[in-house]
């Protein structure tokens, strides 16, 4: 069984007991969260598609930890001008575990 759910403006294909990284959520570690924007549910033999969301369906998840992603380097250079600049960025993520998919 899997579902496609909208979490923080992005769509994820999730299954029960799966761990995923999403953009930083405002929740403490160890708390339970419910996501109501379920777009699709497939339970093996039947697929239910929402218009745009399925009424009454929700995905329960547990916040495991808040982490930072890998560093992305940005390097700018203009040839023959003596200009070069390097900066970096690390994105903030929240690691969640999908506990239950309710239809």
Using the predicted structure, report yes or no on whether residue 29 has a pLDDT greater than 90: yes
pLDDT of the residue at 41: 96
Q: Report the pLDDT value the prediction gives residue 47, as an integer from 0 to 100.
A: 95
How far is 16 from 42, CA to CA, in rounded Å? Answer: 12
Question: What pLDDT, in 10s, does the model give residues 37-68?
Answer: 999 999 989 999 999 999 999 999 999 999 99
Overall average pLDDT of the 24-45 stretch? 95
84, burial (CB in 10 Å: exposed 0-12, middle 13-18, buried 19+): exposed
Tell me the backbone φ, ψ of residue 22, rounded to 5 degrees. Answer: -125, 165
The counts of H helices and E strands in the chain are 0, 8
Q: How many domains does the chain have?
A: 1
Average pLDDT value for residue range 69-98: 98
Residue 16 belongs to what domain range? 2-102
Burial environment of residue 30 by CB neighbours within 10 A (0 to 12, 13 to 18, 19 or more):
exposed
Q: Note whether 29 and 62 are within 8 A (CB).
A: no
Q: Which pLDDT score, from 0 to 100, does residue 100 have?
A: 95
pLDDT over 90 percentage in the chain:
98
The confidence score (pLDDT) of residue 103 equals 86
Average pLDDT, the chain: 96
Report the C-alpha gap between 59 and 36 in whole angstroms.
Answer: 7
The pLDDT score that the predictor gives to residue 81 is 97
């Amino acid at each position: 069984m899997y579902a496609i759910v909208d979490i923080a403006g992005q769509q994820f294909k999730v299954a029960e007991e799966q761990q995923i990284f999403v953009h930083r959520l405002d929740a403490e570690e160890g708390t339970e969260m419910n996501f109501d924007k379920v777009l699709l549910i497939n339970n093996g033999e039947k697929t239910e598609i929402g218009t745009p969301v399925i009424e009454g369906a929700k995905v329960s998840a547990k916040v495991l930890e808040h982490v930072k992603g890998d560093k992305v380097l940005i390097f700018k250079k203009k040839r023959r001008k003596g200009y070069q600049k390097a900066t970096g960025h690390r994105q903030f993520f929240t690691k969640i575990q999908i506990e239950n998919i309710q239809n």
